[in-house]
Structure 1
Amino acid sequence: MMKWRHGLLFPLILAICLGGLSAWLGRISEVNIEEVELNPNEPQYSMVDIDGRRFDEQGRLKENLNAEVAWQLPKSDEVTFEKPQLIFYDNGKLLYKVESNEAGYDTETRTVVFKENVVLTKTAETQRPAGILKTSNLTVDTQTKIAETKAPVEYRYGDSYGTANGMVYDYNKGFLNLPSRVKAIIYDPNNI
């Protein structure tokens, strides 16, 4: 009868020890996740010396965005850049670049709003002359390749130059629209 008690006692003690060990391991391995609300006025993240590149389907450089500093606030779709430079390419050839003191990139609409000392430089192409435009702010839609502002602008497009209040430049059409208060000297390269 003594054998029977020891034969039953060992599995019972083993089961109790294993159950206790399992409960103890379960308790110490629990991770309590505490969600902390971020300060909406402080960056969720920030980066230094940005150099982002986007390539086309053939692997050629399509867009290059670089900046000294970038940051994004919590619950915001806009990334803010200091001293940004956005450069566009087509088939690996430089089209134009936009530089300013500050910019905001909306990740949803893929538009960039350049602010303070904005300079847009367009390289010369076979059918289109080089150009440069200076203004205080400029919105660039990276999808449609349209740049626009309502602020005063100074521009030079080939041998033509002038000033205006506001402008819309459609790269795909090669069309610069100056809607109001235009002062310009325009040269037609075909009549020179």
Structure 2
Amino acid sequence: MIRLRHGWLFPLVLAVCLGGLSAWLGRISQIDVEEAALNPNEPQYSMTGINGKRFDGQGRLKESLSAETAWQLPKSSNITFEKPELALYDGGRLLYTVKSNEAGYHTESRKVQFQNEVVLTKNADAQRPAGILKTNSLTVDTQTETAETQEAVEYQYGDSHGTANGLVYDHKQGFLNLPSRVKAIIYDPKNL
């Protein structure tokens, strides 16, 4: 007498049906995405009325950046701003602001390149007087708290004032370097 064992047939049919159902569900739920090539000369993103803030580890304001408009071109790590104003803070206290007609922000290095009618205003603190700097181009490194330019500058730092070609300012060290063609009237606040 021959015994037929049909106990293995049901699990096999079930596995084939479930595999077919899984393949069918995968196929109908698959989304085909077509990537459109963007024009490299037209903004990928454009924003108006920008106002961004960054905070330190204790929740105090560290940086704020506002602008009338901003845009980013495709495949670029630079953001372009019109009428930007950057304010840098230490412990929530305003250190200085920089304004200009336009600027470019490099997202990886966190450097801002200000262009056209740049005005840097530094608030007075316990160790240093207030200062104002005017130039046509200024690069601000928000990480190292430095500013520099090779352009002609006009400055006022406390009672001192003058002009120069180029500038390097290091806020952490309180160091202002005017490398060439300096015309200045310098007052030592300790001797006044």
Counting only pairs closer than 5 Å after superposition, residues 26-105 of structure 1 correspond to structure 2 as 29-105=29-105
Mapped partners of 2:117, 2:107: distance in 1: 23
Helix, strand or coil: the match of 1:190? helix
Q: CA deviation at 1:191?
A: 1.1
User: Could you list the per-position Cα deviations for residues 6-64 of structure 1 after superposition, in whole angstroms to 9, with x for gaps in the alignment?
Assistant: xxxxxxxxxxxxxx999987665442211111110011111111111000111000000
Q: Percent identity?
A: 72
Which residue of structure 1 lines up, in the alignment, with residue 133 of structure 2? 133
Tell me the number of residue pairs that the alignment of Structure 1 and Structure 2 aligns: 175
User: Could you list the per-position Cα deviations for residues 83-112 of structure 1 after superposition, in whole angstroms to 9, with x for gaps in the alignment?
Assistant: 000000101111000000000000111100
The amino acid across from 2:68 in the alignment is E
Helix, strand or coil: the match of 1:112? strand
Q: Which runs of 5+ in 2 are unaligned?
A: 1-19
Which residue of structure 2 lines up, in the alignment, with residue 14 of structure 1? none
TM-score (norm: length of structure 1): 0.86
Which residue of structure 2 lines up, in the alignment, with residue 123 of structure 1? 123
Mapped partners of 1:123, 1:104: distance in 2: 24
The amino acid across from 1:122 in the alignment is K
CA RMSD of aligned residues (A): 1.9
Mapped partners of 1:175, 1:46: distance in 2: 37
The amino acid across from 1:46 in the alignment is S
Q: Which runs of 5+ in 1 are unaligned?
A: 1-19
User: Could you list the per-position Cα deviations for residues 145-183 of structure 1 after superposition, in whole angstroms to 9, with x for gaps in the alignment?
Assistant: 010000000000000000000000000010110000000
Cα distance change on mapping 1:22 and 1:94 into 2, 3 Å = closer
Mapped partners of 2:164, 2:78: distance in 1: 29
**Is the deviation greater in 149-158 or in 34-43?**
34-43
Mapped partners of 2:96, 2:136: distance in 1: 18
TM-score (norm: length of structure 2): 0.86
Which residue of structure 1 lines up, in the alignment, with residue 178 of structure 2? 178
